[in-house]
A and B are shown apart, each in its own frame.
Chain A
Amino acid sequence: MGKYKSHILVCAGTGCRASDCEGIVSNLESALEENNLNEDVQVVRTGCFGFCEKGPVVKMVPDNTFYVEVTPDDAGELVLEHLVKGRKVERLLYIDPDTKERISDSKHMGFYKKQYRIALRNCGFIDPENIDEYIARDGYAAMGKILESMTPEEATAIIKESGLRGRGGGGFPTGLKWEFTRKAQADKKYVVCNADEGDPGAFMDRSILEGDPHSVLEAMAICGFCIGADTGLIYIRAEYPLAINRLKTAINQAREYGLIGKDILGTGFNFDVEIRLGAGAFVCGEETALIHSMEGLRGEPTVKPPFPAEKGYNGKPTNVNNVETFANVPPIILKGSKWFSEIGTEKSKGTKVFALAGKVNNVGLIEVPMGISLREVIFDIGGGIKGGKKFKAVQTGGPSGGCLTEKHLDIPIDYENLLQCGSMMGSGGMIVMDEDDCMVSMAKFYLDFTVEESCGKCAPCRIGNKRLYEMLDKISLGKSTEEDLGMLRNLANVIKDTSLCGLGQTSPNPVLSTMDNFQEEYLAHVVDGKCPAGQCKALMHYIIDSHLCVGCTLCNRVCPVDAISGEKKTPHVIDSSICIKCGACLEKCKFGAISVQ
């Protein structure tokens, strides 16, 4: 950052790029030039700030003014007012929803107050394409410390004692995994970074790779030293082009600096990293399937044992960790296991990154200490439910997780508690739903995903999930009986017990958890033939109130299937056997005569 007096940080994560942050950057640069400030002020593209709801985000450093929802047209004003005249541009500051006051420092915003950033420590602070900025924030210091003063056993012990557990979903103790791979005897071993973030609605791994790629490279090298591997492989989704590019840049820079490659820091330790592209298969998040995919095969899982720690990539011992897990490693090495294990709960240490999305006011990426309650996450950080609607459920763990309700809001979030409630930590997707969301439709949505993504190797998952989907579809069409609900639960349990890999073993969770927590809603569909949330089209009936209808014929004209009839100036009627429930008439009626039942 050297010669510049101040910096303008512009979020260049995928979300903000979609809102034209590049336009903001170029307009800022030309405005700086016009005002002869281009020598003193530098515009930096950073990784994700997390506050995607209010993006694009622009932050002024060193005074930390945090501007939200900036457009390219605002660039000139920002430079002229903020930098030249020294006045904050009030209209671009965040408005506190409670006090209605404008807040300029992100520290005081509800969204950031309860966060604790370890894995995301550099996201939004540094230029991810500049290795010097990473190094300036203690980058590669952890690797240096280990290479110079520790044995692999000592370094592994730090990770073990810290209590760090796999952040990809399973929650297996990371140090233990490293130890297994270290103890395996072989002439070649591999470190694999699982960046195949397939859970729809989770984007923390992408944001870490986009915002702080070096932290993952450094951690992989540390892991390589601990387990005795000289090759690292990053398996990343092809759907993340920006993350792939930033990783490539980071790998090249690290090689240039001698921080990966041969004889690192003159210690004789060799470690290099390659990228492997995924090709869009959710099951490849499972480690054995991922390894097969890297070998150029169909990404089908195999039975464990043997675990990858004994027999993995090319039949050699392989340690697979996820991106977020790796991002936690360098700070643990630098600050010590005690520091890390003091954060969180008894069995779940440290922090967890969640992708908060759905019907919540502040959509974004957050990192919170383990043990925080769902209520704090959704209402304090997330700012509550959009449009003042009522909270109904929160789905954690993606297609493998479950829906939690009001009664779970005060449970401290950790691996064990979420499992006990019938959900799971998963990779950290957190989708908030309100009263308008139908739980049967939600379960159906996830099953549709599983059916499509099942690799087809084992029968319970391939056939069972398809049947589950069909049963749910029958419920949403109002054609089921109470007996079917018993069969649904029975089949769900069979799939859980008999599937080969984690995908099948967890795929019925969305069904089981919604059945447990929203039994009345299932019964309403089955017994009363009604969808309380008004989402299942087949169970909706459009009705015209003959007292309110003036016979303007507007509905008649917009109906695409001619289901509405009636003479001019007399009340109209809808023939429900023809009606396709498109809702066009409801939108057009000016007299509020049409309603849904």
Chain B
Amino acid sequence: MASVKLPESKIQELKEVCQKYDNKGSELINVLHGAQELFGYLPAEVQEIIADELNVSVAHVYGVVTFYSFFSMLPKGRNPISICMGTACYVRGAEKVLDEFKRILNVKVGETTGDGKFSLSCLRCVGACGLAPVVTIGERVYGRVSADDVKKILSEYA
């Protein structure tokens, strides 16, 4: 087991999440949701603690974490940007919007800017197809976004 660098209080909180689900291996996905809410992402040591608590192998936990796109092993930026790449948004020009974000922020999909301010990801359909193309930043949803709007949107987070 790697040396643990997490603060003791956080580890305690993580253990409480596991206990909430009776430390059952079958509740792994719910536990991972709870853990990601707590830390923002799922670094290796968090996975090791969970494996220990639920009495399953670390390989099993890692296998599940990497299977599902909702779980991330990389920290997200303070303002996580998601471009909807559902079909409705795609046919209404989401790719151009994504390219513009990539160009301005100088990051690829799945990366975080050097200052930790923004991270960029794609998601599949938030279900607001009437507003396509859609971009979400944190909880905020932007509808009918064009490549020209990108600069203005980012400036709101200056």
Which residues on the A side are within 8 Å of B24 (C-beta)? 296
C-alpha spacing A357/B126, complex, angstroms: 13
C-alpha spacing A17/B130, complex, angstroms: 12
Q: Do A200 and B128 touch across chains, with their CB atoms under 8 A apart? A: no
Instruction: State whether A201 and B28 are in contact (beta carbons under 8 Å apart), knowing that A15-B130, A279-B33, A363-B132 are contacts in the complex.
Output: no
Sorting the interface of chain B by its residue count into under 10, 10 to 19, 20 to 34 or 35 or more gives 35 or more
Instruction: State whether A295 and B26 are in contact (beta carbons under 8 Å apart), knowing that A279-B71, A357-B88 are contacts in the complex.
Output: yes
Q: Residue B29 contacts which of A207, A277, A398, A429 (CB distance < 8 angstroms)?
A: A277
B124, CB-defined interface residue at 8 Å? yes
Which residues on the B side are within 8 Å of A282 (C-beta)? 124
Q: Residue B128 contacts which of A14, A279, A294, A445 (CB distance < 8 angstroms)?
A: A14
Q: Do A55 and B130 touch across chains, with their CB atoms under 8 A apart? A: yes
C-alpha spacing A18/B141, complex, angstroms: 5
Q: Do A357 and B129 touch across chains, with their CB atoms under 8 A apart? A: yes
Q: Residue B64 contacts which of A207, A240, A296, A364 (CB distance < 8 angstroms)?
A: A296
C-alpha spacing A405/B40, complex, angstroms: 45
Which residues on the B side are within 8 Å of A357 (C-beta)? 87-88, 129-130, 132
B70, CB-defined interface residue at 8 Å? yes
C-alpha spacing A276/B132, complex, angstroms: 29
Q: How would residues 86 to 98 of chain B score, 1 for a CB under 8 Å from any chain A CB and 0 otherwise? A: 1110111000000
C-alpha spacing A280/B121, complex, angstroms: 13
Q: Residue B87 contacts which of A55, A295, A398 (CB distance < 8 angstroms)?
A: A398
Q: Residue A355 contacts which of B64, B123, B129 (CB distance < 8 angstroms)?
A: B129
Which residues on the A side are within 8 Å of B88 (C-beta)? 200-201, 355, 357-358, 363, 431
Which residues on the B side are within 8 Å of A197 (C-beta)? 127
B56 smallest CB distance to A (angstroms): 8
C-alpha spacing A282/B125, complex, angstroms: 12
The A/B interface has a contact count, at CB < 8 Å, of 127
C-alpha spacing A588/B31, complex, angstroms: 53
Instruction: State whether A52 and B129 are in contact (beta carbons under 8 Å apart), knowing that A18-B143, A200-B86, A359-B92 are contacts in the complex.
Output: yes
A557 smallest CB distance to B (angstroms): 18
Q: Do B125 and A200 touch across chains, with their CB atoms under 8 A apart? A: yes
B134, CB-defined interface residue at 8 Å? yes
Q: Which of B26, B33, B88, B132 has the most CB of A within 10 A?
A: B88
Within 8 A of B (CB), among A272-291: 276-282
Q: Do B68 and A281 touch across chains, with their CB atoms under 8 A apart? A: yes
Which residues on the B side are within 8 Å of A437 (C-beta)? 91
Q: Do B67 and A203 touch across chains, with their CB atoms under 8 A apart? A: no
Which residues on the B side are within 8 Å of A215 (C-beta)? none
Other contacts beyond A198-B124, A201-B129, A296-B28: 12, CB < 8 A: A15-B131, A52-B131, A200-B90, A203-B127, A203-B128, A296-B26, A297-B28, A298-B64, A299-B68, A363-B132, A437-B91, A449-B124
A342, CB-defined interface residue at 8 Å? no
Q: Which of A200, A355, A364 has the most CB of B within 10 A?
A: A200
Q: Do B125 and A296 touch across chains, with their CB atoms under 8 A apart? A: no
C-alpha spacing A295/B134, complex, angstroms: 33
| Cβ contacts A to B, 12 pairs, < 8 Å | A14-B126, A14-B128, A200-B85, A200-B124, A277-B29, A294-B29, A298-B64, A314-B26, A363-B129, A398-B87, A431-B91, A452-B69
Closest chain A residue, CB of each to CB of B85: A200
Q: Residue A445 contacts which of B33, B87, B127 (CB distance < 8 angstroms)?
A: B87
Which residues on the A side are within 8 Å of B124 (C-beta)? 198, 200, 282, 449
B55, CB-defined interface residue at 8 Å? no
Q: Which of B69, B92, B125 has the most CB of A within 10 A?
A: B125
Q: Which 7 A-B pairs have the closest CB atoms?
A: A52-B130, A203-B127, A200-B86, A279-B68, A357-B88, A18-B141, A280-B70
Within 8 A of B (CB), among A193-223: 197-203, 206-207
C-alpha spacing A296/B132, complex, angstroms: 34
A25 smallest CB distance to B (angstroms): 17
C-alpha spacing A74/B157, complex, angstroms: 28
C-alpha spacing A355/B134, complex, angstroms: 16
Instruction: State whether A277 and B130 are in contact (beta carbons under 8 Å apart), knowing that A19-B143, A298-B67 are contacts in the complex.
Output: no
